[in-house]
Amino acid sequence: MDKKINILKSINHNFLVAVIRGASADEAFNDAAACIKGGIKTIELTFTVPSADSVIKKLKEKYQNDVIIGAGTILDEVSARLAILAGADFIVGPNFNKEIALIANLYQRPYIPGCMTTTEITTALSYGSDIIKVFPGNVLGPKFIKSILGPIPNANLMPTGGVNLDNISDWVKAGVAAVGIGSNLVSPGANGNFDQVEENARQYVSKLKSNSPIKL
C-alpha cells in the first residue's frame, strides 16, 4: 500500500504529467527524456506508441525511482497488466473500465480513468480511483472543476486535453490535483526537435513555480 500512496503523492507533488504519443518507440522515448531533462518528473506513455511496454521498461531502467512512469490510453485489462509488468507506476485511460480498476487495485497501481460526468466520476471513485482524469479538458474547462468539487470535494481531478501555458494557472486555481499536458508540449518531437520539447518542459515548470497546487 505504501508504494501506491507514494506514487499518488509524487503525481500530486510533481503536478505536471507529460502525455507522450510518439509515432515510433524512439520518438516517444526521446520525447520523454526531453521532458524529464526539462524538469517534468511524471510521464504518461500512451499505448498508442508502437511497443509501448518496451519503452516504459526502458524508461524505468534508465530513471528508476527518480521519475514516475505511467501507461496511458489503456482500454482493457490485458493492456493494463502488460503495462504493469513492464514497470508502469500508474494506469490511465480515456474512459472508466471496472476490469482495469480491479486489476490496478490487485497490483496496487493508481488507476486514473477519463470521466466527464458526475456519475462517471462517482463510479470511478467507488472502484478506488484516487485521481480522476477530466477528459476532454478543452471541452469541459476549469469551471467544470469548480462545479464538481462543490458536491464532490473529495475528488482529485486531473484535466487532460487543452491545458497550455496560457491557462494552466486557471486550472490550478480551480483546484486540480495535477494536469496532463500533451501536444503543445511534445509536438516538436515529431520533427526531431527534442531540444524544443525540453525548453517547453522548462517553461511549464517555471510557470508552475508561482502557484501552490499541492492538494492531496
- The residues carrying an active-site annotation are 44, 133
- What span, in angstroms and rounded, lies between the C-alpha atoms of 110 and 24? 26
- What span, in angstroms and rounded, lies between the C-alpha atoms of 136 and 176? 14
Distance of CA 139 to the CA centre of its chain: 18
CA distances from 62 to 14, 66, 85, 104 (A): 19, 9, 16, 24
Q: Which three cell numbers stand for residue 114?
A: 477519463
45's CB contacts (< 8 A; 6+ apart) are 20, 28, 32, 52, 55, 56, 59, 69, 70, 71, 72, 88
- What span, in angstroms and rounded, lies between the C-alpha atoms of 196 and 38? 10
Q: Give phi and psi for 33, each to the nearest 5.
A: -60, -40
Q: Are 113 and 121 in contact (CB under 8 A)?
A: no
- What span, in angstroms and rounded, lies between the C-alpha atoms of 30 and 87? 18
Helix (H) or strand (E) holding 37: helix 25-37
